[in-house]
Amino acid sequence: MKYTIAALVENKPGVLARVASLFRRRGFNIDSLSVGRTEREDLSRMTIVVEGDEKVVEQVTKQLNKLIDVIKVSDVTKNAVERELCLVKVNVQPEKRGEIIELANIFRARIVDVSRDSFIIEITGDEEKIEAFIDLMRQYGIKELARTGKVAMARGSKK
Amino acid sequence: MRAANALAKALVEEGVEVIFGLPGGAILEVYDALYDAGVAHITVRHEQAAVHAADGYARATGRVGVAMATSGPGATNTVTGIATAYMDSSPIVVFTGQVSTNLIGNDAFQEADITGITMPITKHNYLVTDPKKLLSVVKEAFYIASTGRPGPVLVDLPKNVTAADIEYNYPKKVVLEGYKPSYEGHIKQIEKAAELIMKSERPIILAGGGVKWSNASEELLKLAELIPAFVVTTLLGKGAIPEAHPLCLGFIGMHGSKYANYAVQESDLVIAIGCRFSDRSTGKVSEFAPNAKIIHIDIDPAEIGKNVRVDVPIVGDAKRVLSKLISYIKYKRRKEWEDKINELRRKYPLRYKKDGFKPQYVVEKVCEIYPDAIITTEVGQNQMWAAQYFKVKYPRQFITSGGLGTMGFGFPAAIGAQVAYPNKTVIDIAGDGSFFMNIQEIATCVYYSLPVRVFILNNGFLGMVRQWQQLFYRERYSATCIGCREHSFEKIAQGFGAVGMTVEKPSEVEDVLRELKDIDDPVIVDFKVDQHANVLPMVPPGKALHEVIDEEVE
């Protein structure tokens, strides 16, 4: 099963290396990892998706907590809002243009770059939505794909 | 003030008495400041030894040990020492020189990314790039090393940072948002533990190194006598309770006594304190204490449930948790269990065949003649014989590399302990293979007149590996014969200016050991023991604690 873990960390050089090193050393498998700034300038937030069972996730959480630069770790697998952003560069033959635009609209995706024979489409959403969209684009030929990895936040007042 | 001088002043303020180290180019500013800073410095002959010595100092005193080395090879030589301290939770701070900040990343002369290299083997580490942050880093380093679960911290000091001019204002307090060890232990959990203890008919306490780091030996003894419960220890827990105490069964694991291992297997409750259930202690983990509930008290939440299932976890400092736990316990005699254990003790004593010149005999005599000495060990057979036959009296008496199993640890660790306690007898029980790994430190002992005693149980083999080859690899002795019988440790010692002796017969052991009492110099004694003695009993790797190999003695 995949678990989503959110970690609040010091915004310092080397913190990402510490986290990555810990995952490698303990043999935890990172599915995706995203890092960015938060409401506090001195803190960053990492959202890490790990593959494993409950025991693995418990160890991941505890080991992350042991890092001095990690301030708070929470398991946000359940009851959280999850989003990912994805850019897809897809082949566009003139007769398929309309079709692709329509599909993008259905998914509330945006076409952010247009060239003679391709589009770059930006889509955000949860993993399933993005997977579904990518799947649909395959038939036209995907030239390039970039995904940010998941960011997540627990719902409601709980912090 | 020059940052290097500020650092030296900060070390004095931290109460550092001694630094173990070896200077070099990138750390020159600091050494210049140390010249008249009022902190003693022991110059070792290899940086690995500096870290082991700092580690030995820490284990012998409970205070933070300090080591220093230059950049590049100096720094990389500290790696094994740091990993050793990390595995055994020993509080040390290691300062390394680094090339100037404008050169970092350029593959400059003697540049090594030591913070990158030591990331997985330190509790925390720092590369100081801003001289203004130096003092707060030093404060944090000592705080992190010595609090919570202790461990090594490395501080990397670029040369231009140590040469910079800063103001001296050493912080009084440390604020670390991401580091707040919990010491107290949850009271509900402590109550639950007490309930299990009161219900138990066959309780056993498993004490680890954490009991010693937390200075909880008094509380441990109180708890054991109050329940009453027999006490087994891990290798690092040796000395958490005096081993002559009637409730103490000694250490468990691969080379623990049969009765200690059987006692764990037959218990219905294991009260584990400050230990991490390493594979060497538990044997096959799925069959460890199969009928027992487990209470696990540890300051590191990540250790709980990592290796064995736990029924009542308590995160906290051993001393504080135990003193609370004691108040819930009432004495309840468990006659049947007592009889059972005493029968196991009678039936399966630790013993060995007494023909020839046995290494175990040397250790027994050392224990008899130097019962209060601080004992360090190397790693392998020598370590296990020392653990089996030296009966430890007090908590910080027995110093050994448990987790990493570092050959070459014992001698420099003995130097650290000797520096901490100049008037105590400090003995390194060594093997010929291990002793070679830091043999150059005889020079350090001679130079500083440190009367360390090294007793080499010389069998001419990498003995423990040879034993495994004999038992599990059809006696194919690949690369384990190292021929130390041919060269003279006596003359090597003399060449360094130390006292060297050779003992060929068991009948000479006692006299030689007594004779040493009047020698104030460092002494290396080469005991040419039986080459084929094995460490027994033995739980083969991957087997459960009750599946023991032993030899017929009678």
Residue B214's identity, in one-letter code, is S
Is the Cβ pair B179, A68 closer than 8 Å? yes
The CATH code for residues A82-150 is 3.30.70.1150
Angle between helices B47-61 and B79-87 (to 10 degrees): 20
Is the distance from CB of B10 to CB of B157 less than 8 angstroms? no
What is the residue-averaged pLDDT of chain B?
97
Q: For the domain with range B187-347, which CATH number is right: 3.60.10.10, 3.40.50.1220, 2.40.340.10, 1.10.275.10?
A: 3.40.50.1220
Instruction: Tell me how far apart the alpha carbons of residues B276 and B407 are, in angstroms, rounded to a whole number.
Output: 22
**Confidence band, pLDDT 50/70/90 cuts, at residue B483:** confident
The pLDDT value recorded for residue A159 is: 57
The domain B359-528 having CATH identifier 3.40.50.970: the answer here is yes
Range from B304-318, B433-447, B480-494 carrying the lowest mean pLDDT: B480-494
pLDDT attached to residue A13: 87
Please compute Rg for chain B using Cα positions.
24
- Contact (CB, 8 A) for B40 and B448: no
Q: Are strands A142-147 and A80-91 parallel, antiparallel or unpaired?
A: antiparallel
Please determine, for residue B530, whether its predicted confidence score (pLDDT) is greater than 70: yes
Judge residue B104's burial from the number of C-beta atoms within 10 Å of its C-beta, 0-12 exposed, 13-18 middle, 19 or more buried.
middle
| ipTM over 0.95 threshold | no
Summarize the confidence of residues B78-107 as an average pLDDT.
98
d(CA B402, CA B277): 12
C-alpha B27: how far from its chain's center?
28
Tell me the nearest-neighbour CA distance from A50 into chain B, angstroms.
18
Contact at CB, A22 and B120, closer than 8 angstroms: yes
pLDDT at B465 over 70: yes
Average pLDDT over residues B203-224: 98
Q: Which residues pair with B499 in a beta bridge?
A: B523
User: In this complex, which of A25, A65, A71 lies closest to B177 when CB atoms are compared?
Assistant: A71
Confidence (pLDDT) at B554 = 62
How much is the mean pLDDT over chain A? Answer: 94
**Is the predicted pLDDT of residue B369 greater than 80, yes or no?**
yes
Out of B116, B176, B305, the one facing A68 most closely (by C-beta) is B176
Give me the mean pLDDT over the A106-110 stretch.
97
Taking the C-alpha atoms of B88, B90, B92 and B97 in order, what is their torsion angle to the nearest 10 degrees? 0
Kindly report whether the peptide bond that precedes residue B541 is cis, defined as omega within 30 degrees of 0: no
Given a cut of 90, is residue B78 above it in pLDDT? yes
Instruction: Say whether residue A25 is in contact with chain B using an 8 A CB cutoff.
Output: yes
What are the structural domain ranges in chain B? 3-163, 187-347, 359-528
Give the model's pLDDT for residue B488.
94
Q: Which of B88, B304, B288, B178 is nearest to A59 (CA)?
A: B304
Alpha carbons B86 and B52: distance in angstroms, whole number: 11
Chain B residues with beta carbon closer than 8 angstroms to that of A62: 301-302
Read off φ and ψ for residue A46, nearest 5 degrees: -110, 135
CATH code at A2-78: 3.30.70.260
| Amino acid A158: pLDDT | 60
pLDDT value for B311 = 98
In this prediction, residues A133-157 reach a mean pLDDT of: 94
State whether residue A59 sits within 8 Å of chain B by CB: yes
With a cut of 90, say whether residue B552 has pLDDT above it. no
Residue B346: which of B233, B262, B265, B283 has the closest Cα? B262
* Residues A106 and A113: beta-carbon distance below 8 Å: no
| Phi (first) and psi of residue B46, to 5 degrees | -155, 135
On the question of a common fold for B3-163 and B187-347, the answer reads: yes
CA dihedral B421, B425, B426, B430 (to 10 degrees): 180
Nearest CA in chain B to A7: B178
Q: Which of A13-22, B32-41, B286-295 has the lowest mean pLDDT?
A: A13-22
- B3-163 carries CATH number 3.10.20.30: no
Q: Is B66 helix (H, G, I), strand (E, B) or coil?
A: strand
Q: Which two tokens stand for residue B409?
A: 């640890």
Which pLDDT score is estimated for B186? 97
Is the distance from CB of A127 to CB of A82 less than 8 angstroms?
A: yes
Q: Of all residues in chain B, what percent carry a pLDDT higher than 90? A: 98
- Band of residue B553 on the pLDDT scale cut at 50, 70, 90: confident
Pick from B165-169, B257-261, B498-502, B549-553: least confident: B549-553
Q: Do A2-78 and A82-150 share a fold?
A: yes
| Nearest-CB residue to A68 (from B178, B301, B302) | B178
Q: How far is CA A120 from the centre of its chain?
A: 19
Q: Could you state, in order of their start, the residue ranges of all structural domains in chain A? A: 2-78, 82-150
Please say if the pLDDT value at position B551 is more than 90: no
**Does any CB of chain B come closer than 8 Å to the CB of residue A16?**
no
| Encoded tokens for B214 | 């937390």
- Amino acid B521 reads D
| Percent over 70 (pLDDT), chain B | 100
Is the pLDDT confidence value at B297 over 60? Answer: yes
Q: Which of B265, B248, B197, B196 is nearest to B227 (CA)?
A: B197
